[in-house]
Amino acid sequence: MHCDVYKFPKSPDWYVYIARPNYPDDVDEIKDWLSVLPKEIRQKLGLGQFVMHLDLSVREKLAQADIATVKARLAEQGYYVQAPPSDVLLAQALNRAKESQDKRYD
């Protein structure tokens, strides 16, 4: 099972894995691979940047995601969204709230 991994500068620490079921036959094809994501997710994450291509059939684990879950989601929906750990999400939310409050009183 092949997939591409994308990161999102607007949303640090978020990654999306996109299934590439016809790889390598589709390498010459120009395609918006992120189009499999629901509109709401694309809007939230912003513009994606390609990070790497992975062959999951030769890997036993991934750094921050359960490989069995990733494979299942890729097979079911064509993508897997890797969110940051909950403590990172909380820190990001607190920073955004503080920035918003600071801007209000500038």
The structural domains of the chain, with segments of one domain joined by +, span 2-104
Structure tokens at 64: 């921050």
Q: Could you tell me which CATH number the domain at 2-104 has?
A: 3.10.510.20
Q: In angstroms, how far is CA 31 from the centroid of its own chain?
A: 17
User: Is pTM, for the whole model, over 0.85?
Assistant: no
CB atoms within 10 A of CB 17: 23
Q: What is the rounded distance in angstroms from the CA atom of residue 13 to the CA atom of residue 82?
A: 8
**Locus of tokens 């997939």:** 3
pLDDT in tens, the chain (106 residues): 899 999 998 888 899 999 998 777 777 776 888 889 999 999 989 889 999 999 999 999 998 889 999 999 999 999 999 988 777 667 777 877 888 776 666 5
